[in-house]
Chains A and B, each alone.
Chain A
Amino acid sequence: MSIKTLILTGYGINAEKELKWAFDLAGSETDIIHLEDLIENKSILSKYNILGFAGGFSFGDHIASGKVFANLIKYNVFEDLKKFIDSGKLVIGICNGFQVITKLGLLPSFDNSYEPVVSLTANDSGHFEDRWVTVKVENNKSPWLHGIDTLYLPVRHGEGKLITRDSATLERLKKNGQVALRYTNKKNPDDMSYPHNPNGSYYDIAGITNEAGNVFGLMPHPEAYYCNELHPNWTEGVIENKIGLDIFKNAVNYFK
């Protein structure tokens, strides 16, 4: 059986091609489709196993990152999307895609409410930044993270600071096991100052899942580490145990 992945693009999404590469290399059949085409033909969504929200600058991050793209989905294909999720299929949102699905309420979606209670806002540093960070898997009940302990990945964003509406929300995230990835400092885990936590995220959170674990959002870019030579230190022979590609392999293998 072939595993099919749909990646949405349009309106300033710009990391859809490498996300397709990653899914293809992981063994999926992957289509990139403009959001407008999905809105016109909503039923195609049900043909896919996996839905990917790629990184980029949808609508220029104007007003707030991901907000307008999220609204376009909310007011047009939200019901189909909920059905997709409720049926246990997999969804990933990376960087701008994470911002989109968080503002849409797909994450953390306590009690399946789709109510936005978490957001991603301007980095504490005050600016966009491209650097590699180490993240550790806090809870791998999500199929996306099966067998992965830590990952070295690039972050490339100006608005990646994960905040919660209040402290109760953060506690609930932790208690539910929805905190999937946290930034970490390999040399000195107690020192999580900048740039180990690159944006000032609460509780060093780099990625979260919904309660069921099938929807996963993260700020770092696993698709940007789909092969060894994308690692910053590969020229000195560094080879990591797991690379970004493994996340996509997990998703495809989940259906096999």
Chain B
Amino acid sequence: MKSTRIEVKNRPEFPEDSSILKTIKEDAHIIIDAVETVKAYNLQGDFKENEINLIRNDLLSDLVYQENKNGWSYYQELDYNFGVEVAYKNGVTDNVGRTTAQGISYILNKEINFNSVRASTMYFFKGKVTEAEIKKIAEKVLCNTLIEDYYIFNKDSFKPVEYFKTAQAPEITEYYKGIDLNVTDEQLMKISEDGVLSFSLEEMKIIREYYLSPIVSEARKNLGLPASPTDIELELFAQTWSEHCKHKIFAADIEYKNGSETKQIHSLFKTYIKDSADKLRKNRKDLLSLFKDNAGVVQFNDEYAYCVKAETHNSPSALDPYGGAMTGIVGVNRDILGTGMGAYPIYNTDVFCFGSPFTEDENVPEGLMHPRRIFRGVHRGVKDGGNESGIPTVNGSITFDESFLGKPLVFCGTGGILPLKSNGRDAYEKYVNPGDLIVMCGGLIGKDGIHGATFSSAHLTEASPTSAVQIGDPITQKKMIDFTLEARDLGLYSGLTDNGAGGLGSSVGEMAQFTDGATLYLDKCPLKYPGLKPWEILISEAQERMTIAVPKESIDQFLALAKRRSVDCAVIGEFTDNGTIQCYYKDAIVCYLDLDMLHEGNPKLQLKAEWKETVEVKVSSKETDFNLMLKKLLGRPNVASKESWVRIYDHEVQARTVNKPFTGKDNDGPSDGAVLKIFPHSNEGLAVTHGIVPRYSKFDTFQMAANAIDEAVRQAIILGADPDALVGLDNFCWPDPVESANTPDGKYKMAQLVRACEAVHDITIAYNCPCISGKDSMKNDYRKGSKKISVLPTLLFTATGIVRDITKTVSFYFKKPEQLIYVIGDTRAELGASEYFEMLNIKEGAVPKVLNPEETFLVYKKIAKLIEKRLLVSAHDLSDGGLSVALSEAAFSGNTGAEISLDAISSHLSVEEKLFSETPSRILVTVDKAKNEEFLQVIGEKNVFFLGKTTAHDMLVVKSGSKTVINEKLSELKSIWKNSLTF
């Protein structure tokens, strides 16, 4: 077949932005004088000349400001020193190419194969650079060589590239390989490692036993299957039993030693997380579905329920920050779509942990990307994933610590709404029956994302499989979401789930439990390109796919609707009740497994944990210039404004965001969280917040977790959430906590996990905020040679609460002069692991502690009452940097000065402690003088400390006794805070 190339560029009078030169300067440290870009479209097919002209002028270019050429042209015409052309590798999803093929089919009114267009970008650079520098620019800035190819050229060296190689994919003749497990232990482990299966030896032996049992071998003989497992079966075991899917560490038996005490824990999940929810559930009729679906479901009002879920995508984001983060966010969107009978995503949350963007190049671990590049890529991936899907990113944060140089943490969350009833049935349940057809909807299957589930359960090393990376296409998914919910409302299906980790193997395996069996026809699965082996089809993590159970009587209507909505769907099997998972390929059986064995057969891990208390030593710094200290704090990456990054997310699409991420007189102050007005005719809303403080793990993971929960709950309360209608999500990211030669400190890391779970249990009960879903990612370590970096044990706690009347929402910033400023909650000398001590490199001190959570919750209920009675003018939580930072933020965001005294705060504390201690459970509020009495009546005198008044001056003045300890212009403080994290 012929191939054609069309090149498009802006006309000279419409120059493009050249921000890429800035990135090249910052990331590759190379100065380039100028750049021009050309978009190229490489087409395969026999097009007539008039058709080519139509494609050129009516589709591929906008003649108002662009021009185009046929063939390889601009390399001859432009003035440049060197050029680089970048395109996706063969086989990687090329979204622009696919849209172009679709666009061509519209204007020519004929079918065009979606693989027949490949898009590429040419960069023409002017500047004096060496060959090695060009290579550096290409590999560090222009492309990710994992998924993209590039070549460098100049006028003389130019040689056109062949975009459509005619290599024929080999026909699949061998449907499976039998894998003999009757081998030595070493060989068993080699099978696991070579296949990226992440089995333990014990698991391999249990699988071997299964195949040796007489019933199994007899059945296999009758079916003509080998006595040993097929590669398909072994892969299915590996996906289903992976840490990622089975949460083996949270289900393990643990012997926990703390000092002289030893206790046995049978499943952290059941003992702590589920137990809290079970206890609270007795008085919480709003909890409709917990821990059994993709996301927990909670009643919102008489007509609707909401559901929330957060996931991590750490390993993929380390390898391909853009693609990894994008598939993280669109992946968790699908979790919501797959909840109950299907929910509509209404908001996203994004929380990242990175190494400092200002890390010196030589301190970046070998083989990994610079944190600045990871930051940029992750941010762009989440931006495109969320914005293009039309889902607002309403809440999030970015935390920096050097431990995240080893692996970034990328948490992506989504909330959705669903009707309580759908076609007369409770919409938070599923209704799959034997005989229902298995339909795969959305995208097609490729080699992308093979072994994502098992790989994320392993360490990050240089040998990480490149096929573990997936490329997302938000638009394909958006079309699928719209179609699915249309089909839901028409009552065309009986249940659904998403295809995420483990692909069809996991989704069908999970849904098969509803009916006790499933049969799949792997050759019926639509593929992006030929040549995939049956096992690859089963476990591919190609994106944008749902598995939907459709009753036979609805299938025609279902498929017809899919066609009208341009959504690929295919019937690939049937749910059964015969207790087995069976797969066929072209009429031959290739997989036959007991469902029970697959889901229940994996052994429980037996693990050991031993806690070592950190002895707290009281210390203080020698600093006396607190003005300077505050300014330095405000410029620290953890504290400084992230606005320049957050503005790039669409946080308002769907028109629900009534408390936005950045608010204030100039719309640029840091909100405590989001409030969403869900429907136009009602003032009911949701508050969305989160807490995360990994650095406290350096002292005690109990307090790390307790502080995260306290912060999230406190913010939700401040935003007006009903204290009796809060729910949480627990997302754990841990280094490997299993003791081994590579992890000699496994017992301690496991004890850290036990303590964090204890905190989740105790604090969520005290705060009446049960976890409705959760997720864990357990092997966040980097290892190369003798160098190992483990991330700080981290809990992200996401809180969601119902706001009964969003018109009572209070924002965080000072509004006008002459208002009374109070801090609610006692301050203690807790500077250990605080942002202030981290800045001064002081490793001792007492870590901030959540003490008496039951009493604290009573205070929170009083705050809810204050908001309900409209007695607060502003309310802001105290977190990183303590009182000093909260005061500064509230003042400079409101362009309203403040003059306060620290004397009302516990007299035994030093000025330093009063200003910078990070004691949790504290809130900074302002109150109108006229309402002061009523305010004091509601809150009670005990927990309130009067600080001073807001002023009409552009100054923050803080006194201790007669001494002024801070005296600074708001504009100065704000300028530092705003401009420290821009690059």
Contact = CB atoms under 8 A, between A and B. Distances in A.
Nearest to A36: B564
A59 B107 CA distance: 15
Interface stretch (A80-88, A119-127, A205-213): A119-127
Nearest to B563: A36
Interface string A215-234: 00000010111110110111
A129 B648 contact: yes
B95 A62 contact: yes
A60 B474 contact: yes
A24 B680 CA distance: 10
A232 B660 contact: yes
Contact of A57 (B388, B564, B816): B388
A118 interface: yes
A9 interface: yes
Q: Could you say which of B565, B649, B655 has the most chain A C-beta atoms within 10 Å of its C-beta?
A: B655
B383 A128 contact: yes
A126 B59 contact: no
Contacts of B58: 71
Contacts of A235: 659, 663, 809-811
B64 A72 contact: no
A232 B671 CA distance: 11
B519 interface: no
Interface stretch (A13-21, A134-142, A173-181): A13-21
B651 interface: yes
A236 B811 contact: yes
Given A131-B647, A229-B658, A230-B655, A14 B390 contact: yes
Max chain B CB contacts within 10 Å: which of A11, A118, A163, A226?
A: A11
B652 A121 contact: no
Contact of B680 (A37, A221, A227): A227
A49 to B, nearest CB: 21
A233 B478 CA distance: 32
Pick from A18, A40, A67, A232 the residue with the most CB of B within 10 Å: A232
A154 interface: yes
Contact of A124 (B17, B649, B651): B17
B139 interface: no
A48 interface: no
A183 to B, nearest CB: 16
Contacts of A45: none
Contact of A60 (B473, B658, B806): B473
A110 B527 CA distance: 48
Interface in B564-588: 564-566
Contact of A233 (B652, B663, B680): B663
Contacts of A12: 388, 390, 474-475, 478-479
Contact of B657 (A11, A63, A119, A230): A230
User: Taking each of A9, A62, A116, A122, which has the highest tally of chain B beta carbons within 10 Å of its own beta carbon?
Assistant: A62
Interface stretch (B97-105, B428-436, B544-552): B97-105
A227 B683 CA distance: 11
Interface string B468-497: 000001110011001000000000000000
Contacts, number: 170
B930 to A, nearest CB: 15
B62 interface: yes
A56 B655 contact: no
Given A68-B106, A75-B107, A118 B655 contact: no
B620 interface: no
A75 B106 contact: yes
A63 B107 CA distance: 14
* A9, A40, A55, A131 interface centre (most CB from chain B within 10 Å): A131
A15 B654 contact: yes
Contact of B99 (A60, A75, A224, A230): A60
A60 B566 CA distance: 14
B811 A63 contact: no
Nearest to A54: B390
B172 interface: no
Pick the most buried of A63, A72, A131: most chain B CB atoms within 10 A of its CB.
A63
B931 interface: no
A163 B17 contact: no
Nearest to B387: A128
A156 interface: yes
Interface residues of B, number: 59
Given A60-B388, A229-B677, A21 B663 contact: no
B262 interface: no
B978 interface: no
Nearest to B680: A21
A165 interface: yes
A40 B142 CA distance: 43
B557 interface: no
Contact of B59 (A14, A37, A68, A154): A68
Contacts of A149: none
B809 A56 contact: no
B25 to A, nearest CB: 15
Contacts of B806: 229
Nearest to A169: B64
Contacts of A236: 811, 815-816
Interface in A1-41: 9-12, 14-15, 17-18, 21, 24-25, 34, 36-37, 40
A21 B649 CA distance: 23
Given A119-B62, A230-B657, A59 B647 contact: no
Nearest to A236: B815
Given A75-B106, A156-B652, A119 B65 contact: yes
A130 B106 contact: no
A62 B96 contact: yes
Contacts of B650: 128, 130, 156
B102 A59 contact: yes
Contacts of A128: 383, 387, 648, 650
A130 B647 contact: yes
Interface string B12-47: 001011010000000000000000000000000000
Q: Which of A9, A68, A75, A235 has the most CB of B within 10 A?
A: A235
B96 A63 contact: yes
A225 B65 CA distance: 32
Contacts of A132: 667
A229 B479 CA distance: 30
B100 A62 contact: yes
A55 B654 CA distance: 10
A10 B481 CA distance: 11
B478 A164 contact: no
A18 B100 contact: no
Nearest to B654: A18
A103 interface: yes
Given A36-B566, A130-B647, A14 B653 contact: yes
29 contacts: A12-B390, A14-B390, A15-B653, A17-B654, A40-B564, A55-B653, A56-B390, A57-B387, A57-B474, A59-B475, A62-B95, A63-B96, A71-B58, A71-B106, A119-B62, A123-B17, A125-B17, A128-B387, A130-B649, A130-B651, A131-B647, A132-B667, A156-B387, A163-B14, A165-B63, A229-B809, A230-B652, A233-B663, A234-B658
Given A71-B106, A116-B63, A229-B807, 20 more contacts: A12-B475, A15-B654, A18-B654, A18-B655, A25-B680, A34-B565, A36-B565, A57-B388, A57-B390, A60-B96, A62-B475, A68-B103, A71-B58, A72-B106, A128-B387, A156-B653, A165-B65, A224-B652, A226-B680, A227-B677
Interface of B: 14, 16-17, 19, 58-60, 62-65, 95-96, 99-100, 102-103, 106-107, 109, 383, 387-390, 473-475, 478-479, 482, 564-566, 647-655, 657-660, 663, 665, 667, 677, 680, 806-807, 809-811, 815-816
Interface of A: 9-12, 14-15, 17-18, 21, 24-25, 34, 36-37, 40, 55-57, 59-64, 67-68, 71-72, 75, 103, 116-119, 121-132, 154, 156, 163-165, 221, 223-227, 229-230, 232-236
- Which A-B residue pairs are the 8 nearest by beta carbons? A14-B390, A18-B655, A62-B99, A119-B64, A126-B17, A235-B811, A60-B475, A126-B19
